Amino acid sequence: MAYGSPLAFFFSSFALLVASIPGLVPVGVAEPSFYDPNRVTQPSWRPRIFLYKGFLSDEECDHIIKLARNKTTRSIVANNESGKSLTSNVRTSSSMFQRKHR
C-alpha cells in the first residue's frame, strides 16, 4: 500500500505505537475484530515500534492532517529547577490536541 504522504505513514505508525504502550488499554478489553497479525511488523525493539499496515487509509490520514493543519504549536519542555514550561532549542517538534468527534 502506498501512502499519500510521509505524514500518512507517520500517523499510521504513531497510532500503532501509542496503542502498544502497556497500561494504555485497560486489562480485559478484547482485541478489535480487525486485528490481523500478518499485517504487523516490528521495525524496532528500542524504542518499541510496531507497524500495522493499513491501520488507517490514506483518506483517514489526510483527514487527520487536514484537522491538524495550522493548529500545531511548538512543543515545550519543563525547566528542571523551576518546573516552568519553556521552549527549547533542542526539542524542535510541534504538537496539537484534537477534541473527540471531529
For residues 8 and 56, is the Cβ–Cβ distance under 8 A? yes
> Which segments within the chain are labelled E, that is strand?
40-44, 49-52, 73-74, 77-78, 85-86, 94-95
Per-residue pLDDT of the chain (102 residues; tens, 9 = 90+): 444 566 666 666 666 565 555 555 555 555 555 667 888 899 998 888 988 888 888 999 999 889 888 888 888 888 889 999 998 888 788 888 888 765
Q: What is the DSSP letter of 30?
A: P
pTM above 0.85, yes or no: no
CB contact set of 94 (below 8 Å; sequence gap of 6+)? 72, 73, 74, 75
- For residue 54, the one-letter residue type is G
Residue 29 phi/psi, 5° resolution?
-80, 125
